[in-house]
Structure 1
Amino acid sequence: MYPTAGRSEGAGQQAEREPTGSASTTIRAGELEVGYIDGGSGVPLVLIHGGESDRTAYATLRTHLGAGIRAISYDQRDSGITVNPPDPYTMGDLGDDVASLLDALGIQSAHLLGTSFGGAVAQHAALRHPERVASLTLIATTPSFALTGEPIDKLLNMPYDDMRRAVDDFFVTPGGRAELRSRAAETLVTRDHEQRARRHAAARQHEVRDRLGEITAPTLIVHGTEDQLAPYAGAVLMEQRIPNAQLRSIEGGRHAIGMEFADTIALWVRELLGVRAA
């Protein structure tokens, strides 16, 4: 058995962040034992978490998605309770893992929603397995690590305590700090040095600018205009190059728009998925 990717919070804290009526479990998907949360019923929507988060990161968005959506969030390699081999991997491997998870769950195709690093994973999944992807929602992400620049390098090299203190600078708007500071910080989970190094190495290889025209799925791009970690120019480029894409901007939004503006984004997602209001 491979060593599991661990996290610092206790089981009681973790359970408090999972959606009502749902519980974490694992399933064999390819070479991985994948931790996931499967909640609701209806159109399948796979939620792909960011680089420093895990399957529980979408607790806020889930509360706004409403009826008619089966929301599935899972732990990527070196995340949460997923068990994976201690070997290097690429963004393409992480995209393949999405298809393996769908196989394990008996789902032929699903809508994908990814935030930040998860949005990059979603892009690779859509390029490598177009027949499995009904639509894409890309939140606060980029088509290339090369577009991110100095702020992301600064964040990735921070000790975890410093990263949590940096929430105000990078993640939430001044107006959202009082309500969201602690919740945004809680989505940042700890990994050991090897796990962190593997994920950061994969992120630095992310480059699909010249392949965006190959994405066939209807695509919703949601981006904050003041995102320092995934600059807004990357969102504009994705809208220009993905054939069936629409960019919806959040004026003044920073990197945690998926949490801070979850109610608005959930409405846009329901519209994309063709799910009528409850």
Structure 2
Amino acid sequence: MSTPRFLKLPPGVRRTTIETSRGPFAALEALPGSGVPERRPALLVPGLTGSKEDFLAVLQTLAASGRRVVSIDMRGQYESIGPDDESAYTRAALGEDLTALLETLGPDPVHLVGHSFGGLVSRETVLADRVRPASLTLMSSGPCAVTGQAATKAQSLRDAVPQLGMQAIWEIALEPDYTGRGLEPEIVAFIKARTLGNSETGLACMANEILTSPDHVEDLAKHCADTSLRTLVLYGENDDVWEPAAQAAMAERLNASKVVIPGAAHSPAWDAPETTATALTAFWNQAEHPCR
């Protein structure tokens, strides 16, 4: 990562705030070069410890196809305000936030993309069925709670945050790890700002949510069949959070389209941005014109 893409906004991408009925959400917004979207918009939702910047490398390419594309910090993440109320960070409550965002970004139906834990939250939004998206993409997201090493990390985060606080966790564990990887100082500075900007209550609660999520794939499959909602399961071939085989099986259960990104791990939008953006654009176009 020689270029700090997290810190430099490409042309046509800007920082903004999306005001909704459930409060404001910090966002990155990309528009087509003409400034006039001709296709349906898209909303990109990050994972547990992520932020809107996780999609920075794909925003410009996605918007070039004629769309308004918005990535957000969920409630309590980085630059989106979050309360100390634990009930604000359940999957259902965060799903209601996404419903409000879909309403705000309308009136046209919005393509919804959830990465990792953001995929579990997006599933809640779809199943609540208060606003129907133009399509649903589950990116590097599994059928239920994480297991194995990913579960161990989530448990450590859930248990350590209330005991130590994020400042101490940053100084003791995270900063030495990031600097030891040889990351550029400005990238480490960004990751520090993002880490300490998170709501500690939110982080602990969302870590618990990713550890306890039930399998709602059958419910989602029925909903998609009943409403003709097109769904894509997209993941890196080397994903180390949810096993690729588990995601492939989920795609089959959902009767969903499936794209495996070569060479990518858990963050295809970062590891292979052009391939990921091309796959998303093709899927969105097909969802808008299924007969073509």
Q: Which band: TM-score by shorter chain?
A: 0.7 to 0.9
Q: Is the 8 A contact 1:77 1:94 kept in 2?
A: yes
Change (3 A) 1:131 1:193: closer
Equivalents in 2 of 1:72, 1:236: separation in Å? 27
2:202 matches 1:202: no
Counterpart AA for 1:265: T
Query: What corresponds to 1:173 in structure 2?
Result: none
Equivalents in 2 of 1:193, 1:226: separation in Å? 30
Query: What corresponds to 2:90 in structure 1?
Result: 90
Query: What corresponds to 2:16 in structure 1?
Result: 25
Counterpart AA for 1:75: D
Counterpart AA for 1:120: L
Q: Is the 8 A contact 1:98 1:125 kept in 2?
A: yes
Query: What corresponds to 1:269 in structure 2?
Result: 280
Query: What corresponds to 2:220 in structure 1?
Result: 212
Equivalents in 2 of 1:237, 1:15: separation in Å? 33
Higher alpha-carbon deviation: 91-100 or 126-135: 126-135
Counterpart AA for 1:150: Q
Equivalents in 2 of 1:57, 1:227: separation in Å? 16
Q: Is the 8 A contact 2:7 2:190 kept in 1?
A: no
Change (3 A) 1:99 1:260: same
Equivalents in 2 of 1:107, 1:70: separation in Å? 13
Equivalents in 1 of 2:81, 2:251: separation in Å? 35
Change (3 A) 1:84 1:178: closer
2:209 matches 1:227: no
Q: Is the 8 A contact 1:32 1:84 kept in 2?
A: no
Q: What is the deviation of 1:187?
A: 6.2
Q: Is the 8 A contact 2:237 2:264 kept in 1?
A: yes
Equivalents in 1 of 2:263, 2:132: separation in Å? 34
Q: Is the 8 A contact 2:99 2:130 kept in 1?
A: no
Residue 258 of structure 1 aligns to a residue in which SS?
helix
Query: What corresponds to 1:55 in structure 2?
Result: 52
Q: What is the deviation of 1:164?
A: 7.0
Q: Is the 8 A contact 2:265 2:271 kept in 1?
A: no
Query: What corresponds to 1:138 in structure 2?
Result: 138
Residue 24 of structure 1 aligns to a residue in which SS?
strand
Q: 2:41 aligns with which of 38, 41, 44?
A: 44
Change (3 A) 1:242 1:184: farther
Q: 2:25 aligns with which of 28, 34, 40?
A: 34
Equivalents in 2 of 1:268, 1:155: separation in Å? 29
Change (3 A) 1:38 1:202: same
Aligned-residue Cα RMSD (Å) equals 3.3
Query: What corresponds to 1:250 in structure 2?
Result: 261
2:61 matches 1:64: yes
Q: 2:200 aligns with which of 185, 189, 193?
A: 193
Q: What is the deviation of 1:264?
A: 0.9
Greater Cα radius of gyration, structure 1 or 2: 2
Deviations 1:187-218 (A, max 9, x none): 68313532321221232332223423234121
Q: 1:75 aligns with which of 65, 73, 76?
A: 73
Q: Is the 8 A contact 2:115 2:139 kept in 1?
A: yes
Residue 79 of structure 2 aligns to a residue in which SS?
coil
Q: Is the 8 A contact 1:235 1:247 kept in 2?
A: no
TM-score between both structures, scaled by the size of structure 2: 0.74
Q: Is the 8 A contact 1:224 1:249 kept in 2?
A: yes
Unaligned runs of 5+ in 1: 1-12, 168-176
Equivalents in 2 of 1:149, 1:264: separation in Å? 28
Q: Is the 8 A contact 2:5 2:57 kept in 1?
A: no
TM-score between both structures, scaled by the size of structure 1: 0.77
Q: Is the 8 A contact 1:33 1:84 kept in 2?
A: no
